[in-house]
Chains A and B, each alone.
Chain A
Amino acid sequence: DVVLTQTPVSLLISLGGQASISCRSSQSLVHSNGNTYLHWYLQKPGQSPQLLIYQVSNRFSGIPDRFSGSGSGTDFTLKISRVEPEDLGVYYCLQRTHNPYTFGAGTKLELK
């Protein structure tokens, strides 16, 4: 199975600051069709995960441009600029290139 290693495990960020989360895969996430199915989610306490970024760098509908995704192959990054209170929660990466689909272990974003 593909292992997604997320770092850091937790982040303490001041309001208005910038956060960066890494998701490293144990194998390339480039599908045979050329697409890379690596997505980013935020799960707020007591809620279901919400999609932020799909296929590495595409912001989902309604997601502010403070959120950006980048990367290729096995190394991916989610950046959050100008952190706001509603950004707090646990961030997960998900790969859907290989079966079984796998999630990273999560990164908890907290306020400093």
Chain B
Amino acid sequence: QIQLVQSGPELKKPGESVKISCKASGYTFTDYAMHWVKQAPGKGLKWMGWINTYTGKPTYADDFKGRFVFSLEASASTANLQISNLKNEDTATYFCARFPDYWGQGVMVTVSS
């Protein structure tokens, strides 16, 4: 069955970096783009962008240009999201998703001094 399994929760300080992963199984990884979605605590869903899993080319929504990097380990069917220079407002759950149908379980990233 199709699954997207994400890495575990992260606690970071402002200014640090974090890298979260999303391992896909049950389908051909390079056949579908991988999208990333942010959900701040108690808030709605915000699309961050996507990565072409065949070419590796990322596309970022405007609010996520600069400190956010999408990458792949295609041989491991894994997509990664790295956030640098973390800010308090990056505290959120981050989902990977094979739109429109399959989502990862989400990774809670907490940024606190």
Contact = CB atoms under 8 A, between A and B. Distances in A.
Q: Do A and B truly interact?
A: yes
B105 A96 contact: no
Tell which of A92, A96, A101, A104 has the most Cβ of chain B within 10 Å: A101
20 contacts: A37-B100, A43-B45, A48-B95, A48-B103, A48-B104, A48-B105, A49-B95, A49-B103, A50-B103, A54-B101, A94-B45, A94-B100, A96-B99, A100-B61, A101-B35, A102-B47, A103-B45, A104-B44, A105-B44, A106-B45
Interface residues of B, number: 17
Contacts of A60: 101
B44 A103 contact: yes
B38 to A, nearest CB: 11
Dominant secondary structure at the A interface: loop
A11 interface: no
Interface string B25-39: 000000000010000
Contacts of B106: 48
Given A94-B45, A102-B47, 20 more contacts: A39-B100, A43-B45, A48-B104, A48-B105, A48-B106, A49-B95, A50-B103, A51-B100, A51-B101, A51-B102, A92-B45, A96-B99, A96-B100, A100-B47, A100-B62, A101-B35, A101-B99, A103-B45, A105-B44, A106-B45
A33 to B, nearest CB: 16
B60 to A, nearest CB: 9
Tell which of B35, B95, B103, B104 has the most Cβ of chain A within 10 Å: B103
